[in-house]
Amino acid sequence: MLTGVLVGVVTMGITILAAGALSGRLGRLPVYLTGAAFVGLMAFPVFLLIDTRSPALIALALAIGIGGIGPLHCRHGDHHASLHLLGWRDSPISGC
């Protein structure tokens, strides 16, 4: 399980960088919607892979599941910054 989580985190790092590069060219909304659609479509296949109880397939499922949410996490900081006035910046945590 730990190997699967580590593979998933590395995959997430790659997808965050790729989504950041794509959002600069395509815009925030298309990248975010594509990431949300991917997560929605992959939810059931990921659970089916976990249900096989094969360590390799569980690692693959975690890589897909954790890595797939990268485009969603990539856009949160930029979106939070755009919600406030130009002279007012704070931490996203303090805005919760």
Local confidence band at 93 (pLDDT 50, 70, 90 cut-offs):
low
- Distance, in Å, from the CA atom of 5 to the CA atom of 35, rounded to the nearest integer, reads 19
Domain that holds residue 48: 2-82
pTM above 0.75, yes or no: no
Q: Does residue 92 fall inside a structural domain? A: no
Contacts of residue 89, defined as CB under 8 A and 6 or more positions apart, other chains included, come to 81
SS (HEC) of 31-83? HHHHHHHHHHHHHHHHHHHHHCCCHHHHHHHHHHHHHHCHHHHHCHHHHHHHC
Residue 87 placed within a domain: no
Q: What's the number of domains the chain is made of?
A: 1
Indicate the pLDDT class of residue 37, thresholds 50, 70 and 90: very high
Please list, in sequence order, all residues whose beta carbon lies within 8 angstroms of the beta carbon of residue 47, skipping any fewer than 6 positions away.
Answer: 61
Q: What pLDDT does residue 43 have?
A: 87
**Mean pLDDT score, 73-86:** 68
